[in-house]
Amino acid sequence: TTDSSTSNRESVKSEDGDEDELPYRGPFCGRALVHTDFTPSPYDTDSLKLKRGDMIDIISKPPMGTWMGLLNNKVGTFKFIYVDVLNEEEEKPKRSVKKRRKSRPPKPTSVEELLERVNLK
């Protein structure tokens, strides 16, 4: 009976959706930054609890406005009005942004410098 008890617990965990065992790995269709806290009703087991600053990996964005995502190894739903969707440039690490900026010349500090750059002086 010990073996059946153990297997029952494992099946309850998987049916329960305990994401600590097997976290969702993808695919994702984007990322979003939470700008407004949201605590779902205790009866709403599908919604994610959102805190400002949380980063959500978006799984799907149906047109009705309740999206699905991954937050803290939990898959759940959230309303798009609580988040800002990040574009690809914002998602990249800051290091790659710095590399891109280094390739650009700095802004001219004076009108004379600007005229020299466009060969008018």
Q: Topology of domain 23-117, per CATH? A: SH3 type barrels. (2.30.30)
Burial (CB count <10 Å: 0-12, 13-18, 19+), residue 74? middle
pLDDT at 3 exceeding the cut of 80: no
Confidence band of 66 (pLDDT split at 50, 70, 90)? very high
Across 47-51, 62-66, 104-108, the highest mean pLDDT is recorded for 47-51
Residue 108 confidence (pLDDT): 81
Q: What is the DSSP string of 74-108?
A: EEEEEEGGGEEEEPHHHHS-HHHHHHHHHHSPPPP
pLDDT at 14 exceeding the cut of 60: no
Average pLDDT for 53-72: 93
Each residue's pLDDT tens digit, 23-44: 778 788 899 999 999 999 999 9
Domain ranges of the chain: 23-117
